Amino acid sequence: MTESESVMHQAWRLIHGKTKPRGSLGKLEALAAQIAAVQGSTAPVMERAALIVFIADHGIAKAGVSAWPQAVTREMARNFLAGGAAATAFARKLDIPVTLVDAGMCEPMAHPQLLDRRMGHGAADFSQGPAMTAAQCETALDHGGKLARETPCDAFCLGEMGIGNTSSAAMLAHKLLGLPLPGLIGPGAGLDAGGVAHKRAVLRKAAARTPARLEPARAMAEYGGFEIAMLAGAMLGAAQSRRLILVDGFIATAAALAALQLEPACRASLVFSHESAEPGHRLMLKAISVEPLLRLELRLGEGTGALLAWPLLRAAGAILSGMASFEDAGVSGKLP
């Protein structure tokens, strides 16, 4: 039995002895045991979260796969910096510090609150060729991992912003899991039926460039985005430093697929926060046998779903660190 398995076994024994009927806190009980196993302690600490938002542009956006022009990536970056985005508003209410990262917008933006980890002027148009080089992909993974390892917190909320990145996410799920491409392609940020049909045609052509299944590093280089590669790297770095990761929606789950294939052991640290309204997200979650915490019909990204799940993670931690046992409270336990 590994250390994590031993701690989880002990955690379950303690959870069953708390002042409640066995199983009455539902999924929170399993979440409490997961937290204990990741931290290696039956008295886990779950007090501080951190939000990191990776921002980058995608060359595929020029093929008309989004309802919004590519300029919106940069405009939304300004909105994040001003605190006006949904994610920054939620983080402010939850008292969660925010780190904003330029992973590769088309145009650089100098700002003291924007971390420069630029990989280039946006990823290339993957309908014509690879989105990035293998070296760029490796560097992006390293940047994300280093940032996660250096950020003080008990759990990460990881978000992204980049016009066209639902196309990247669909392609990654298709190439990593072998899921049929049409079911993974949805409206993204608001395409109508005609727009979705055009998006399918573009991505079908892009998929034909490479073999049906790809290894994770190649899949990200061929079809990913700089922000998605950094997300995957951050997940790996957080798992290596024994922190929990609240996985957001469609884009973040695509990054998680790559992280899981690069390092399957990181699964222990991943908590899938919600099921997006983007139709492909349900298929992705089902393929990796995941039951998310929430279903709120979100489809924004930015880490918003992860932020909304953070109070649940804190509550789960409190089962072990705050609740009394039957013995401690002098409450009669269930008769044998």
Task: State whether 146 and 250 are in the same domain.
Answer: yes
Annotated active-site residue in 160, 222, 275, 302: 302
The pLDDT of residue 272 is: 98
Total domains, the chain:
2
* In a shared domain, residues 109 and 208: yes
The answer to whether 275 and 290 are in contact (CB under 8 A) is: no
Is 256 contained in some domain?
Answer: yes
pLDDT tens, residue by residue, 127-180: 999 999 999 999 999 999 999 999 999 999 999 999 999 999 999 999 999 999
pLDDT value, residue 334: 65
pLDDT of residue 4: 85
Residues 93, 11 within the same domain: no
Residues spanned by the domain of 273: 49-313
Are 55 and 34 in a shared domain?
no
Token code pair at residue 158: 């990881």
Instruction: Give me 39's structure tokens.
Output: 């931290």
Residue 26 confidence (pLDDT): 97
Say if residue 263 is in the same domain as residue 323: no
Together in a domain, 197 and 174? yes
Q: Find the CATH number of the domain harbouring 23.
A: 1.10.1610.10
Q: In angstroms, rounded to a whole number, what is the distance separating the alpha carbons of residues 262 and 245?
A: 16
pTM (two decimals): 0.96
One domain, residues 73 and 13? no
Stretches where the chain sits below pLDDT 50 are 335-336
Residues 171, 34 share a domain: no
What's the CATH code of the domain at 120?
3.40.50.10210
Same domain, yes or no: 189 and 206: yes
Which pLDDT score is estimated for 336? Answer: 46
Q: Is 336 contained in some domain?
A: no
Same domain, 130 and 10: no
5 is catalytic: no
Same-domain check for residues 145 and 257: yes
Q: Is residue 335 part of a domain?
A: no
The pLDDT value recorded for residue 328 is 86
Q: Are 155 and 32 within one domain?
A: no
259: in domain: yes
